Amino acid sequence: MTIEGRVIKYGANVDTDVIIPARYLNTSVKEELAAHCMEDLDPDFVKKVQAGDIIVAGPNFGCGSSREHAPVAIKASGIACVIAPSFARIFYRNSINTGLAILECAEAYEKIKDGDKIEVDFETGIIKDLDSGEEFKGSAFPEFISEIINADGLVGYTKKKLQQSR
Amino acid sequence: MGMTMTQKILARHAGLNVCEEGGLIEASLDLLLGNDITTPPAIDVFEANGWEKVFDQDRIVLVPDHFAPNKDIKSAQQCKRVREFAKKQNITHYYEQGQEAMGVEHVILPDNGLVRPGDCIIGADSHTCTYGALGAFSTGVGSTDLACAMASGQTWFRVPGAIRVELKGEIRPYVSGKDVILHLIGRIGVDGALYRSLEFCGSGIRCLSMADRLTICNMAIECGAKNGIFPVDETTVEYLKARIPGYDEDTSWLTPDEDASYEQTITIDLSTLSPMVAFPHLPSNVHELGSFDTIRIDQVVIGSCTNGRLEDMQKAAAVLKGRKVADGIRAIILPGSQRVYKQCLEQGLLSIFVDAGCVVSAPTCGPCLGGHMGVLAEGERCVSTTNRNFVGRMGHKNSEVYLAGVEVAAASAVLGYIGGPDEIGR
């Protein structure tokens, strides 16, 4: 699958408290969460984000809390994919489980600029900056993770497993 | 190739003799935890899939502690959802506000004797890594992971590599586990242990109380670690025997192999550590007390899953006894559980706090994540014994959180600026 989108760029250590502040965690309704996504880091985010946009950010994206509300809020706000040199591990798990596409790539963070149009090929992990013409290689998912994604997330995978054990 | 403590626990729970770094395994779980923020989405997933029964009602712990006592109607709805699910599923370890065994999740699970060395535990809360203090493998996950594990009793892990943290020397007065972990995070950064275990070892462990170890493991996540883990020693066994009737388990299998592979060894000489303060807005932005100019504050918070245990309350009381909170400062103390609250009452600590001019709150996570019971206004500064100081963590996005140990927090309340017990005189 290939997607094309406009880049919204952030720095390192974007934590779950700025992705979705805890004061809004009295709900898990995804539209309500999306309305406050990135609020404490970038108050304009919800105004400027368009369906299909791609976040490119620095290392350790999603550090902090285990709140699954974070990838859910990002996805519900219309973001198609997050690219970063590294992800905090619980956020990484939560993204896979909730179907938010993520890709690890250090070079993309160094070279891609805010507002650039980029193209991402999930099969190959290739990221193309359509404005600069540069190409970067992100790391593809390990096989087991792909298996979870192909089973329609962890829920599908667990269902399959529970059926097999009965 | 030998195995680390973490790898040994994972191998045992995956039914394997050996597991290696990078391998993906499916492990059976001894304990699963959820709170009032993370459990409702897990219940959504669980019920949407038509799963009828949890795999084991005795192995699931549900603790509505974050926005409870209910801070608003939506929070009340979330707590109600958890309560009703617990009732329907006949969950043994559901805790209700006010019960003696109730409190902040990571304070009560070890204190209620639910955690044993060698256990494999997940919790839908990032600070679930706390239980490594007792020699368990314990890590945070999300709500979907919790839902699937509630159905299957299992989850998947990527077997982590490890960083060995060797502790030596004797800790000095007014220095605690909080300063050890802040020092370590300051040294390696907020992603310094990403995806890896922190395995503690060395002769310095002997001088660390169980409260110190729980605080250290609690904040392992703040440098990105999957888990932190301490070896089992006399302190561990004594702690367990006081809480688990007839506890007598052979844990010798947990000792890491001599040829276990560690990516690096970090040595910390405890005798050289001073009280530490993490400045906004990262837990790694650590400064030694005494190395910075006067920083005036508005609020102090003492409590949380990091520092809400009886020992923490005793340390706070020792500093506050016979003293007054400075004019214009709000000091909020949250005993970590009803049991700790009662012990504070019996030991006369509550009167010390009240006489000093502190608010004493019911156990809750409330202020730590800007929920309730101490939310910060624009421009306000707080010294807090909690674990995160991200932008907006305790309230307004232009407020500031300084993380410190209990004695620095208590002394700062008296001083009105960030300082240590040495500055307020004996």
Q: Does B253 touch chain A (CB under 8 A)?
A: no
pLDDT for B321 equals 98
**Could you tell me the pTM of the whole model?**
0.97
d(CA B239, CA A127): 53
B-chain CB neighbours of A39 within 8 Å are 397
Mutant choice from A60, A86, A90 vs B, greatest count of B C-beta within 10 A: A90
- The pLDDT of B179-208, averaged and rounded, is 98
Identify the structural domains of chain B with CATH numbers, from first to last. Answer: 5-270 (3.30.499.10), 276-423 (3.30.499.10)
d(CA A133, CA A136): 10
Any idea what DSSP says for residue A60?
S
**Closest alpha carbon to A118 in A85, A91, A142, A82:** A82
Question: For A120, phi and psi rounded to 5 degrees?
Answer: -120, 125
**C-beta atoms of B195 and A15 within 8 A:** no
**Residue percentage of chain B with pLDDT more than 90:** 99
Contact yes or no for B27/B55 (Cβ under 8 A): no
Count Cα neighbours of A19 within 13 Å in the Cβ-side half-sphere. Answer: 28
Judge if the upstream peptide bond of residue B281 is cis by omega within 30 degrees of 0. Answer: yes
Of A25, A63, A153, which is closest to B37 when you measure between CB atoms?
A25
B-chain CB neighbours of A21 within 8 Å are 370, 392
d(CA B110, CA B135): 11
Average pLDDT score, chain A: 93
**C-beta atoms of B142 and A158 within 8 A:** no
Q: What is the dihedral of CA B415, B420, B422, B426, to 10 degrees?
A: 60
B400 strand-pairing partners: B381
B41's enclosing H/E stretch is: helix B39-48
**Closest alpha carbon to A6 in A53, A57, A72, A62:** A53
d(CA B229, CA B14): 19
Of A26, A90, A154, which is closest to B72 when you measure between CB atoms?
A26
**C-beta atoms of A90 and B397 within 8 A:** no
Nearest CA in chain B to A23: B371
**Residue percentage of chain B with pLDDT more than 70:** 100
Q: Mind listing the pLDDT tens digit for each residue in B124-172?
A: 999 999 999 999 999 999 999 999 999 999 999 999 999 999 999 999 9
Task: Please check the confidence at residue A165 and state whether its pLDDT lies above 90.
Answer: no
**C-beta atoms of B67 and A153 within 8 A:** no
Confidence of residue A24 (pLDDT cuts 50, 70, 90): very high
pLDDT for A152 equals 65
pLDDT for A166 equals 64
**C-beta atoms of A90 and B125 within 8 A:** no
**C-beta atoms of B126 and A90 within 8 A:** yes
Q: Which two tokens stand for residue B376?
A: 């910060």
Average pLDDT score, chain B: 97
Contact yes or no for A74/A19 (Cβ under 8 A): yes
Q: Mind listing the pLDDT tens digit for each residue in B345-374?
A: 999 999 999 999 999 999 999 999 999 999
Task: Please check the confidence at residue A163 and state whether its pLDDT lies above 90.
Answer: no
pLDDT for A139 equals 84
Q: What is the dihedral of CA B7, B8, B13, B16, to 10 degrees?
A: 90
Confidence of residue B254 (pLDDT cuts 50, 70, 90): very high
Of B67, B74, B142, which is closest to A93 when you measure between CB atoms?
B142
B27's enclosing H/E stretch is: strand B24-28
Of B37, B158, B390, which is closest to A67 when you measure between CB atoms?
B37
Q: Does B339 touch chain A (CB under 8 A)?
A: no
Confidence of residue B302 (pLDDT cuts 50, 70, 90): very high
